[in-house]
Amino acid sequence: MIPQAGAILGLMAPNTDFFETIDPAAALRNRFSDAILRALGDDFRDSDPVIRATTNPEFGDFQVNAAMGLGKRLKRPPREVALEILQAVDLDGLAEEPEIAGPGFINVRIRTSALVEALNSIDADHLGVAPSKDTHPVVIDLCGVNVAKQLHVGHLRSTIIGDALGRILERRGRTVLRENHLGDWGLPIAMVLHRLRIAGIDLDALKLVDLDTAYRDGQLVTKMDVRGMEIVEDRNIGPHRIIELEEQNEGAQQQRNAAAETLVALQQGDAELVSDWQKLIDCTMRAVVDILEKLNVLLGTEHNRGESFYRTHLPGIIDTFVDGGLAVRDDGALIVRFPDRERPMLIQKSNGGYLYATTDLAAIRHRVVDENADRVVYVVDARQRDHFKDLFDAARMAGWGVTPDGHDVEMVHIPFGSVLGMDKKPLKTRSGDNVTLASLLDEAISRGRTEVHRRAGDENAPTHGFSKEELDRIGEGVGIGAIKYADLSNDLVRDYVFDMDRMIAFEGDTGPYLQYAHARICSIIAKADEDPDVVSNAPLIIGEPAERALALQLLQYGPMITEAARHLEPHRICTELHGLAETFNSFYQQCPVRKAATDELRRSRLRLCDLSRRVLADGLGLLGIEAIQTM
Beta bridge partners of 304: 180
State phi, psi for 87 to the nearest 5 degrees: -70, -20
pLDDT over threshold 60, residue 385? yes
Same domain, 485 and 614: yes
| Lowest-confidence segment of 233-242, 392-401, 465-474 by average pLDDT | 233-242
pLDDT over threshold 90, residue 55? no
Domain span at 234: 187-297
- Strand order in 410-414's β-sheet? 176-179, 138-141, 375-379, 410-414
How long a stretch of residues is the chain? 631
In a domain, 11, yes or no: no
In a domain, 420, yes or no: no
What pLDDT digit, counting tens, does each position of 76-85 carry? 999 999 999 9
pLDDT over threshold 80, residue 515? yes
Same domain, 557 and 615: yes
In a domain, 35, yes or no: yes
Same domain, 237 and 265: yes
Total count of domains within the chain: 4
Percent of the chain with pLDDT over 70: 90
> Greater confidence, 227 or 52?
52
Same domain, 191 and 177: no
What pLDDT digit, counting tens, does each position of 235-245 carry? 555 555 545 54
Same domain, 100 and 147: no
Same domain, 464 and 377: no
Same domain, 339 and 381: yes
**Mean pLDDT, range 159-173, rounded to an integer:** 97
E strand or H helix that includes residue 608: helix 599-622
Q: Which of 626, 297, 621 is nearest to 448 (CA)?
A: 626
CATH number for position 26: 3.30.1360.70
CATH number for position 597: 1.10.730.10
Beta bridge partners of 138: 176, 375
CA distance 49 to 35: 9
Same domain, 324 and 175: yes
pLDDT over threshold 90, residue 263? no
Beta bridge partners of 410: 375
pLDDT over threshold 80, residue 16? no
Same domain, 314 and 293: no
In a domain, 485, yes or no: yes
Same domain, 255 and 331: no
Same domain, 256 and 369: no
What pLDDT digit, counting tens, does each position of 596-606 carry? 999 999 999 99
Look up the pTM and report it: 0.89
Domain boundary among 252, 273, 297: 297
pLDDT confidence tier of residue 252, bands split at 50, 70 and 90:
low
